[in-house]
Amino acid sequence: MLDGEITPMSNQPSQCDAVIIGAGHNGLTCAAYLAAAGLKVIVLERRGVVGGAAVTEEFHPGFRNSVAAYTVSLLNPKIIRDLELARFGLRVIERRLSNFLPTADGRYLCTGVGRTASEVAKFSHNDAQRLDEYGARLDRVADVLRELVLQTPPNVVRGDWRSALPQLLQAARVGGRLRRLDLTMQRELLRLFATSAGDYLDGWFESDPIKAVYGFDGIVGNYASPYTPGSAYVLLHHVFGETNGKKGVWGHAIGGMGAITQAMAKAASARGVDIRVRSPVREIVIERGRACGAVIEGGDTIRARAVISNLNPKLLYQQMIPAGALAAEFRERVAQWRCGSGTFRMNVALSELPDFRCLPGKRLADHHTAGIILAPTLKYMEQAYFDARMGGWSRQPIVEMLIPSTLDDSLAPPGQHVASLFCQHVAPLLPGGESWDAHRNHVADLKIDTVNEHAPNFKAAVLGRQIMSPLDLERTFGLIGGDIFHGALQLDQLFSARPMLGYADYRGPIPGLYLCGSGTHPGGGVTGAPGHNSAREIIADFRRRRVPALRT
């Protein structure tokens, strides 16, 4: 059922309580919670495999990898527990080192539990002494965000006191959480929301390598200079997770990111969810002003009491719903939704491990298991952004490389490896209207050359490669503009404004329509939180009898 032939629709039920469009990890999470509450759920997925951007696929004969999302930390522990993901096969392990960053002068910085301070001291004793305080402050602010992740944001509503009161109470609850921070921490929070990652880090540290390691988090999925105001929030977004109870630590799911979504699909199926792959939805059925079903390409219709979208809001509102069903002002806002994270993703099959100039050796060592950041300074990252803005990409690109086969022997043949190249700062749309199809190979060569400059055996070790330009990400996964988060994580697109003021409670502007994807709070990343939160709201509507019975 998860990745196979589909039974003809005529043999399958065509009615349910809730139809979910998209089997990304949020769609699956939402489905599992709804089914646990007793609803009959059908999930329709366009691709032949579930998981959306969190999938493991064979990209070269004998070599499998997490082909899009590649590392785990943000997946919420409550969701792991509630869905019993461990029982359904999920096992997450820690890397031996967090990050490894070769520097421009031939040295390197390694970070990781018990290692960071002594490594940073190679570049600055002052910085090494400030690490603990920096970590503690960031962690206290991240704790507040952790508490908000599974909350429905206060929704800005018009109308009488009955609709406004619950939102006011919700706002008061959020305010109460923030007030628990002392004044120093409230100032820190404000700084993190308003300032740039670069300015924030310059305020803490003096040496480039540690600023680059931390600052990289501020530009992941964020097509902006590390000195763009607001980028400090993106940095924060990447530290609110945990691995096996260790806060801020990133890990690896054995079997790749697909192991997460396969476990979710099994959890959902065990609760009775009907997941149908190769079922691309063409449009949402709207009757008498209410969403009441989904039409699959080819013509079959699933009728449902609630229609739930796991899609980027732009994809949902611009392609799945007739324009006439939405107010002009609403459509205008959707058109302004900013998508385009500037991401270029490659998977490579390797005959051997990279042999770094600054830390020689092809035998597996701790640094091979780390997130390897090839971008030595914040200035370098800023220049890469400027270059991309002007010409589409930089000749000195930002590359993060992860080699998951160093931790997981299920991905590559013995002695060989797979690497994820996660490259940031290419233009989502190329200048002059040029197509990414004309340039993807050249840009991919540039990424390989960049790794090769640091590890001269790399290019010759490449046995096969998979390239995903922003256009490929859009075509393959439905990620509009190649945006890995379904929309930029910037202040005007966060919390009560995600995806839009007035619609932050996972309900769309059409009765019966709900959203459960990364375009809702708390945004992108493999968190499961939007799916969890939307399920709570949908279940509440069913219990309050706000969802009418099916018309037949």
Does the footprint of ligand FAD cover residue 371 (CB under 6 A)? no
- Alpha-carbon dihedral sign for residues 320, 323, 329, 332: positive
Pairing type for strands 63-66 and 99-102 reads unpaired
Does the footprint of ligand FAD cover residue 421 (CB under 6 A)? no
What's the chain's Rg over C-alpha atoms?
Answer: 23
Does the footprint of ligand FAD cover residue 477 (CB under 6 A)? yes
User: CB-wise, 128 or 480, nearer to ligand FAD?
Assistant: 480
Tell me the three state secondary structure of residue 193: helix
Q: Which residue of 231, 406, 496, 518 would you call a contact of ligand FAD, by CB under 6 A?
A: 518
Pairing type for strands 15-21 and 301-309 reads parallel
Annotate each residue in 170-189 with x if it binds ligand FAD (CB under 6 A) or - if it does not, as one string.
--------------------
Does the footprint of ligand FAD cover residue 16 (CB under 6 A)? no
Does the footprint of ligand FAD cover residue 339 (CB under 6 A)? no
Does the footprint of ligand FAD cover residue 99 (CB under 6 A)? no
Does the footprint of ligand FAD cover residue 463 (CB under 6 A)? no
Do 525 and 518 meet the contact criterion of CB atoms below 8 Å apart?
yes
Non-local (6+) Cβ contacts of 349 within 8 A are 59, 60, 62, 63, 412, 416, 417, 418, 462, 463, 464, 465
Least separation in angstroms between CB 279 and ligand FAD: 6
Least separation in angstroms between CB 168 and ligand FAD: 29
The amino acid at 303: R
Question: How many whole angstroms separate alpha carbon 82 and alpha carbon 5?
Answer: 30
Question: How many whole angstroms separate alpha carbon 99 and alpha carbon 254?
Answer: 19
User: CB-wise, 26 or 195, nearer to ligand FAD?
Assistant: 26
User: What tokens does 26 get?
Assistant: 């949020």
In 3D, which of 45, 495, 498, 80 has the Cα closest to residue 251?
A: 80
Least separation in angstroms between CB 431 and ligand FAD: 22
Q: Which residue of 26, 111, 450, 469 would you call a contact of ligand FAD, by CB under 6 A?
A: 26
In 3D, which of 11, 23, 17 has the Cα closest to residue 279?
A: 23
User: CB-wise, 174 or 220, nearer to ligand FAD?
Assistant: 220
In 3D, which of 490, 33, 523 has the Cα closest to residue 232?
A: 490
Least separation in angstroms between CB 126 and ligand FAD: 32
- In the block, tokens 């205008």 appear at 332
Phi, psi at 15, each rounded to 5°: -140, 150
Question: How many whole angstroms separate alpha carbon 460 and alpha carbon 450?
Answer: 13
Does the footprint of ligand FAD cover residue 23 (CB under 6 A)? yes
Size of the site for ligand FAD (CB under 6 A): 38
Q: Which residue of 310, 369, 466, 533 would you call a contact of ligand FAD, by CB under 6 A?
A: 310
User: CB-wise, 68 or 235, nearer to ligand FAD?
Assistant: 68
Does the footprint of ligand FAD cover residue 466 (CB under 6 A)? no
Question: How many whole angstroms separate alpha carbon 109 and alpha carbon 511?
Answer: 53
User: CB-wise, 24 or 354, nearer to ligand FAD?
Assistant: 24
Give the residues across from 111 on adjacent strands: 99
Does the footprint of ligand FAD cover residue 27 (CB under 6 A)? yes
DSSP 24: B
Helix 197-204 with 378-391: angle, nearest 10 deg:
170
- Whether omega before 499 lies within 30 degrees of 0, making that bond cis, reads yes
Does the footprint of ligand FAD cover residue 25 (CB under 6 A)? yes
Annotate each residue in 48-87 with x if it binds ligand FAD (CB under 6 A) or - if it does not, as one string.
----xxx-------------xxxx--x-------------
Q: Distances from the Cα of 404 to the Cαs of 63, 100, 172, 287, 372, in angstroms?
A: 11, 14, 44, 48, 12
Contacting range for ligand FAD; rule: CB under 6 A; set: 3-11, 46-54, 165-173, 367-375: 46-54
Contacting range for ligand FAD; rule: CB under 6 A; set: 23-31, 134-142, 208-216, 263-271: 23-31
Q: Which residue of 345, 367, 440, 507 would you call a contact of ligand FAD, by CB under 6 A?
A: 345
Does the footprint of ligand FAD cover residue 525 (CB under 6 A)? yes
Does the footprint of ligand FAD cover residue 311 (CB under 6 A)? yes
Burial of 343 (0-12, 13-18, 19+ CB in 10 A): buried
Least separation in angstroms between CB 59 and ligand FAD: 13
Q: How many CB atoms lie within 10 A of CB 432?
A: 7
Q: Which residue of 484, 500, 513, 529 would you call a contact of ligand FAD, by CB under 6 A?
A: 484
For ligand FAD, the binding residues (CB under 6 A) are 21-27, 44-47, 52-54, 68-71, 74, 280-281, 310-311, 343, 345, 422, 473, 477-479, 484-486, 517-518, 524-526
